[in-house]
């Protein structure tokens, strides 16, 4: 009996099959009405959120990153450690140093005498932040700044540390911060690149910067940083060839786009459209770039704010002024590098010169942005790739010493962009060697910066070679305490 | 049940199965219209039907199997009905649940578990309905399916309850600790948000109206004031002697110490807060921020509230989104329109390029006028007339008019923008009355940028009186009185090293700087000649320049060195090898007119100096026509610290060819002092004029302690 029942159940005739089939397809059709994007999923990035827009309303729209390349010594600038002066010449206690890995430059040193700052510190502003006398202009704006004294990193040498801070990985070839932002937020001004790079160099011992620090990595090449140079051609290969005027260029582009259009109609390759757009952008950049780069109309007061070097192309001050002009014109990320902070020896002389290069212009930039109402949605970051040791490298003489690389703690400051002003975050021990409060890892720093730009660092994802990549890799926590 | 209806419902069930499988698989693409959201919210209402129906069906099925009586036909009918109705309601509930889960806040693991168990309940119920009347149900596996469903239903129900009531809803009454809503510091009260939470965690377990130990109730302010068995808890005359504090401060072993030994004790911060609160006179209705900033209570409070996480707060816009086609069409090369965030209807608009600006660009924005919340027109030649085009942007929050061409009169139409909260007017020439009028007209304004508008600090303070919550940004400081030093002047020339003459133009990066110079090596001052037309130099000379400008300190004196090299050899040859690191351009380095510089980072250091260490440098210069040489200049580097030394000795030999050379001159040099600052020097060796076709220059490196490096960038033959 049961067998017959079963057979009855499974023996459907054609009519039943068809009516059930139509029912099934009908249900699917009903469901698909609720999914308008099912068949055109171009905007949905796998796992992440769609790119080109902030994930939530951002506090900051732009970033100016004043990178102090070579790792400025925190002990001489912002992290005041009077104890080091008291203990000058004494060996660093082994309990403090622990089993730390040393660089090849001091690993063979037999003695590690502590040394304090050769320059005095004072407290400033409402926040009573300590600033050394090497930074008199920065001292005046401490109430706009948030000092993070508890940054730490994983790398012990310049190149991996710099690459880590810029790309979230030590080994290179990952997209740089600016490229991620360009990818995540898109371009604001279609006539300028969204990620620009400006270089300058001080008198101090320098370390190289290479274009892989502003690479697009595996992202589309439009997200690569564009380096502006100081000469007559700030952007290379932009100028018309000699003898060609603007009308001729226009005619040429028009004719070229007719041809490109024909070949697009024939082959349908979207790269052809991209190429046409890039030619057009370059054409517009030919007028946009000189408009931005022109400093001749800056007032005397402006020149005094940044210091007169802001009119000398290629200096840090000039790059700071240019950075303000670029963000005013919708550039998302302006990356400065100032080289020469690697004071393994001859520290007192070199750091004085380096500080003089950057102090006034950095402070001037913050003031300038503030006065224009731009500081609230522009995030300014000042800092290097790691810190420097509390003990001297080489021999300690009465008026000279040096400091080696120290990844365990370093100080950076941030201003604007929804970061709490007038704040000092994190703390190091009294020898300025280990962090004792609120450590901030490089991944945390990246997560926080992306958060200020309206991006969830866990959702800004790019899938490449079968793996999902983020700026923060698989780590990073937003440092909520410093967000206003 | 009417037999005619059953096939219809059966087909409905099949349709539901397929529909649910489909939307579950493609759930990430689901986009719901609003009316379906309303349907989704009925999920908590409908879900009770399937629970009851299916549990009943399962129970009856179980009863039918184990009662060992033959199941009557009526019973079968009832079972079929129950299973069908239960499965149908389960399906409807699942669909509604999926719709509901599309709303904000349903993305936890708990949601997923609830969803999958719900879908499982539905599928299982559908299967059991299909199997009705089939012998399979009588088997052991069939029974397991029925029992499995009966277990799955409460599990699924509980997971759903966790979503609506929280995961500790059932156990919450068993726990003493209560989570309080997070209050921002600005709105926090001393008693309600600081003191009471401590009392509630550590005291009210025993001192509440129900369990009133020592007749003291600490649940609210009135009860606290009433005190307990041993008198008032707080002594307002001498707060320090309050009984409450006394009990807290007693040693832990004391019988009267509170909280009693064995119960959770006050943390140091909690104790400090209670002490500070009572010492401050036990205020019940003061806000934390109304305390002096030096008050220990406020500092403790700040600490307490800083620990609270700050969540991203977003303004919610209620207006509908603009048409995507409109946004796309209005986005041009010089006008960028972007939603402020993903999924937000609000738009942010920025215009670029003063050259490309036209008022039409604003007019064209009409189709999205409701959605624009932010507009940036800074540095564009926007006129007063153009501002009238902005007034329809009713939801505008943020307007940037920095350095536009508008005037004080142009501000009037802006008063229509009643939601405006930020207005940037830096660099616009304004009148205080116009700004005041605008501020009165728009009470929502929270921030204004008024730097370089002609308004004084006094004016800005008056504005703050009109609207106390307004934040005004003016000049950062009132005209710095510190004088800055001018940076060094610059010199431009085609030839720093020249055969006969060179032309030099002096300049300065800052415009309007007067450049005073000397050519006689004396220090220039404000009485020295002022540079106006290019200088022509005929001999090796140093131009010393100093810049002056009103309002600046004069620059440092800057020296520009120009070298004459009359006789450039027709060929040059080195007799010894150069140091392998310092090859530069070989023998040509010395007459390539490229001057080196100090500093290992400088390319002019690496590329323009050639050097020797172990052997003498022997350079032979040949001339096609006899050269009347009477002096040889050698430019070299000293960097004592790194072992770069001057030549120990230099010999000049001359003659008609290399076979007939005669010593023309010889010089020895001092070794540098220890710690000497690095410098570039020029050694000049003169001798009686002598026509030569061949000149040999021999420079010996120093050998003190060990061989020292000798680096030379240029030589000059005159």
Has residue A30 got a pLDDT over 90?
no
Contact of B460 with B451, CB cutoff 8 Å? no
- Which pair of structure tokens corresponds to residue A266? 């024939």
Within A313-407, strands assigned E span 333-339, 378-383, 387-392, 403-406
> Is there a contact between A34 and B426 if contact means CB atoms under 8 Å apart?
no
**Å between B704 CA and nearest CA of chain A:** 23
Confidence band of B309 (pLDDT split at 50, 70, 90): very low
Q: Which residues of A touch B345 (CB under 8 A)?
A: none
Contact of B682 with B601, CB cutoff 8 Å? no
How many residues can be counted in chain A?
484
- Which residues 415-454 in chain B show a CB within 8 A of chain A? 422, 424, 426, 447, 449, 451-452
Has residue B682 got a pLDDT over 60?
yes
Query: Which of B87-91, B244-248, B286-290 has the weakest average pLDDT?
Result: B286-290
Q: Can you give the pTM of this predicted structure?
A: 0.71
Dump pLDDT digits (tens) for B327-352: 999 999 899 999 998 888 999 999 99
Query: Which of A193-197, B175-179, B180-184 has the weakest average pLDDT?
Result: B175-179
Give the separation between CA B625 and CA B273, rounded to whole angstroms.
Answer: 98
Q: What is the dihedral of CA B347, B351, B357, B362, to 10 degrees?
A: 10
Highest mean pLDDT out of A48-52, B168-172, B669-673: B669-673
- What is the predicted pLDDT for the residue at A45? 46
**Å between A162 CA and nearest CA of chain B:** 19
* Dihedral sign, Cα of residue A138, residue A139, residue A144, residue A147: positive
- Which pair of structure tokens corresponds to residue B208? 């509440």
Give the separation between CA A77 and CA A372, rounded to whole angstroms.
Answer: 28
Beta bridge partners of A196: A226, A334
Interface residue A256 vs chain B (CB under 8 A): no
Contact of A169 with A446, CB cutoff 8 Å? no
Dump pLDDT digits (tens) for B375-397: 999 999 999 999 999 999 999 99
Per-chain mean pLDDT for chain B: 86
B414 CB contacts (<8 Å, ≥6 apart)? Answer: B387, B390, B391, B399, B420, B423, B438, B442
A37 CB contacts (<8 Å, ≥6 apart)? Answer: A43, A44, B29, B31
* Dihedral sign, Cα of residue A348, residue A349, residue A350, residue A353: positive
Mean pLDDT of B599-621: 87
> Is there a contact between A372 and B334 if contact means CB atoms under 8 Å apart?
no
- Which pair of structure tokens corresponds to residue B595? 């001057």
**In the block, residue with structure tokens 């009210």:** B204
Best to test chain A binding among B7, B19, B126, B551 (most A CBs inside 10 Å): B19
Give the separation between CA B242 and CA B254, rounded to whole angstroms.
Answer: 17
Dump pLDDT digits (tens) for B527-539: 999 999 999 999 9
**Å between A434 CA and nearest CA of chain B:** 23
Residue B19, judged by CB atoms within 10 A of its CB (0-12, 13-18, 19+), counts as: buried
ipTM over 0.90: no
- What is the predicted pLDDT for the residue at A43? 46
Mean pLDDT of A111-134: 95
- What is the predicted pLDDT for the residue at A42? 46
- What is the predicted pLDDT for the residue at A37? 62
Instruction: Tell me the H-state helices in B351-397.
Output: 360-363, 384-387
Give the separation between CA B185 and CA A420, rounded to whole angstroms.
Answer: 15
Give me the residue from A54, A329, A371 closest to B426, CB to CB: A371
Best to test chain A binding among B21, B352, B483 (most A CBs inside 10 Å): B352
Phi, psi of A469 (to 5 degrees): -110, 145
- What is the predicted pLDDT for the residue at B310? 44
> Is there a contact between B336 and A330 if contact means CB atoms under 8 Å apart?
yes
Give the separation between CA B667 and CA B636, rounded to whole angstroms.
Answer: 15
Mean pLDDT of B187-203: 82
Give the separation between CA B299 and CA B297, rounded to whole angstroms.
Answer: 5
Phi, psi of A241 (to 5 degrees): -65, 155
Mean pLDDT of A106-130: 92
């Amino acid at each position: 009996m049961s067998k017959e029942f079963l057979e009855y159940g499974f023996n459907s005739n054609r009519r039943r099959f068809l009516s059930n089939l139509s029912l099934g397809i009908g249900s699917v059709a009903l469901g698909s009405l609720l999914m308008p994007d099912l068949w055109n999923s171009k905007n949905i990035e796998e796992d992440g959120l769609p790119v080109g827009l902030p994930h939530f309303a951002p506090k900051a729209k732009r970033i100016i990153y004043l990178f102090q390349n070579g790792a400025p010594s925190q002990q001489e600038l912002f992290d005041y450690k009077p104890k080091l002066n008291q203990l000058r010449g004494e060996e660093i206690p082994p309990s403090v140093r622990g089993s730390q890995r040393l660089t090849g430059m001091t690993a063979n040193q037999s003695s590690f005498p502590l040394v304090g700052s050769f320059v005095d510190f004072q407290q400033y502003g409402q926040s009573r932040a300590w600033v050394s006398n090497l930074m008199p202009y920065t001292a005046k704006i401490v109430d706009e700044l948030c000092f993070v004294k508890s940054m730490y990193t994983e790398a012990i040498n310049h190149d991996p540390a710099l690459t880590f801070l810029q790309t979230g990985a030590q080994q290179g070839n990952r997209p740089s911060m600016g490229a991620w932002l360009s990818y995540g937020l898109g371009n604001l001004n279609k006539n300028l690149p969204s990620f620009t790079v400006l270089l300058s160099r001080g008198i101090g011992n320098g370390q190289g910067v290479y274009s892989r620090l502003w690479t697009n990595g595996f992202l589309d090449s439009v997200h690569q940083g564009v380096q502006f140079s100081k000469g007559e051609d700030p952007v290379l290969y932009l100028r018309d060839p000699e003898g060609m005027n603007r009308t001729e260029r226009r005619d040429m582009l028009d004719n070229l786009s007719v041809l490109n259009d024909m070949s697009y109609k024939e082959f349908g390759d979207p790269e052809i459209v991209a190429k046409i757009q890039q030619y057009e952008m370059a054409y517009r950049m030919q007028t946009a770039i000189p408009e931005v780069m022109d400093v001749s109309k800056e007032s005397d007061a402006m020149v005094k704010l940044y210091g007169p070097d802001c009119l000398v192309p290629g200096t840090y001050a000039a790059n700071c002024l240019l950075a303000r002009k670029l963000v005013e014109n919708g550039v998302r990320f302006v990356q400065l590098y100032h080289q020469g902070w690697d004071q393994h020896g001859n520290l007192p002389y070199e750091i004085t010169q380096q500080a003089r290069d950057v102090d006034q212009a950095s402070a001037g930039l913050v003031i300038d942005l503030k006065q224009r109402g731009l500081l609230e949605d522009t995030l300014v970051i000042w800092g290097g790739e790691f810190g420097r040791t509390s003990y001297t490298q080489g021999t300690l003489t009465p008026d000279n010493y040096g400091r080696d690389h120290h990844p365990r703690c370093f100080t950076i400051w941030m201003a604007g962009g929804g970061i709490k002003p007038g704040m000092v975050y994190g703390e190091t021990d009294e020898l300025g060697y280990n962090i004792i409060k609120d450590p901030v890892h490089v991944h945390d720093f990246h997560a926080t910066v992306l958060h200020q730009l309206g991006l969830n660092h866990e959702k800004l994802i790019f899938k490449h070679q079968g793996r999902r990549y983020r700026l923060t890799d698989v780590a990073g926590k937003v440092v909520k305490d410093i967000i206003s | 049940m009417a037999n005619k209806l059953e096939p219809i419902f059966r087909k409905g069930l099949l349709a539901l199965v397929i529909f649910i499988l489909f939307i579950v698989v493609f759930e990430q693409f689901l986009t719901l219209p609003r009316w379906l959201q309303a349907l989704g919210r009925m999920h908590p209402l409908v879900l009770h039907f399937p629970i009851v129906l299916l549990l009943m069906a399962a129970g009856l099925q179980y009863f039918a199997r184990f009662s060992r009586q033959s199941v009557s036909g009526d019973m079968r009918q009832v079972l079929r009905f129950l299973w069908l109705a239960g499965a149908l309601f389960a399906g409807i509930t699942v669909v509604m649940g999926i719709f509901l889960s599309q709303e904000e806040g349903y993305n936890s693991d708990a949601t997923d578990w609830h969803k999958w168990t719900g879908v499982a309940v539905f599928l299982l119920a559908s299967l059991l309905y299909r199997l009705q009347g089939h012998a399979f149900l009588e088997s052991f596996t069939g029974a397991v399916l029925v029992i499995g469903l009966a277990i799955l239903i409460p599990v699924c129900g509980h997971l759903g309850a966790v979503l609506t009531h929280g995961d500790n809803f059932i156990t919450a009454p068993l726990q003493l600790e209560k989570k309080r809503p997070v209050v921002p510091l600005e709105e926090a009260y001393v008693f309600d948000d600081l003191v009471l939470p401590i009392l509630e965690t550590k005291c009210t377990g025993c001192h509440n109206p129900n369990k009133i130990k020592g007749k003291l109730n600490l649940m609210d302010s009135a009860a606290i004031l009433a005190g307990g068995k041993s008198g008032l808890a707080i002594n307002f005359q001498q707060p320090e002697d309050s009984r409450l504090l006394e009990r807290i401060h007693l040693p832990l072993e004391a019988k009267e110490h509170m909280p009693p030994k064995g119960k959770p004790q006050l943390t140091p911060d909690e104790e400090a807060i209670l002490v500070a609160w009572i010492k401050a006179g036990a205020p019940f209705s003061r806000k934390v921020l109304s305390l002096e900033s030096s008050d220990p209570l406020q500092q403790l409070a700040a600490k307490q509230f800083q620990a609270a996480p700050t969540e991203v707060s977003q303004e919610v816009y209620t207006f509908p989104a603009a048409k995507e086609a409109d946004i796309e069409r209005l986005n041009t090369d010089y006008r960028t329109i972007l939603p402020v965030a993903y999924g937000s209807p609000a738009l942010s608009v920025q215009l670029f390029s003063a050259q490309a600006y036209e008022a039409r660009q604003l007019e064209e924005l009409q189709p999205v006028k409701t959605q624009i919340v932010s507009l940036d027109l800074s540095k564009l030649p926007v006129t007063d007339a153009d501002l009238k085009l902005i007034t329809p942007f009713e939801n505008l929050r943020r307007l940037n008019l920095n350095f536009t061409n508008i005037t004080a009169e142009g501000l009037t139409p802006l008063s229509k923008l009643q939601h405006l909260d930020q207005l940037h007017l830096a660099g616009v020439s304004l009148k205080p009355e116009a700004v005041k009028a605008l501020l009165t007209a728009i009470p929502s304004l929270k921030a204004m940028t008024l730097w370089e508008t002609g308004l004084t600090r006094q004016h800005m303070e008056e504005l703050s009186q009109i609207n106390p919550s307004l934040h005004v940004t003016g000049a950062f400081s009132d005209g710095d009185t510190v004088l800055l030093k001018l940076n060094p002047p610059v010199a431009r020339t085609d030839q720093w090293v020249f055969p006969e003459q060179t032309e030099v133009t002096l300049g300065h990066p800052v415009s309007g700087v007067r450049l005073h110079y000397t050519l006689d090596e004396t220090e220039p001052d404000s009485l020295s000649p002022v540079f106006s037309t290019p200088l022509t130099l005929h001999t090796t000379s140093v131009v010393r320049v100093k810049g002056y400008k009103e309002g600046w300190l004069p620059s440092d004196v800057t020296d520009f060195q120009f070298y004459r090299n009359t006789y450039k050899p027709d060929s040059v040859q080195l007799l010894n090898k150069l140091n392998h690191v310092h090859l530069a351009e070989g023998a040509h380095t010395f007459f390539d007119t490229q001057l080196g510089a100090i500093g290992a980072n400088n390319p002019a250091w690496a590329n323009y100096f050639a050097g020797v260490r172990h052997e003498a440098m022997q350079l032979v210069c040949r001339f096609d026509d006899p050269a009347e040489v009477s002096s040889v200049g050698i430019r070299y580097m000293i960097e004592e610290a790194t072992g770069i030394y001057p030549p120990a000795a230099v010999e000049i030999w001359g003659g008609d060819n290399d076979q007939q050379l005669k010593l023309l001159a010889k010089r020895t040099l001092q070794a540098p002092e220890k710690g000497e600052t690095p410098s570039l020097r020029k050694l000049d060796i003169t001798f009686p004029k002598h026509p030569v076709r061949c000149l040999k220059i021999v420079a010996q490196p120093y050998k003190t302690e060990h061989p020292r490096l000798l680096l030379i960038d240029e030589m000059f033959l005159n």
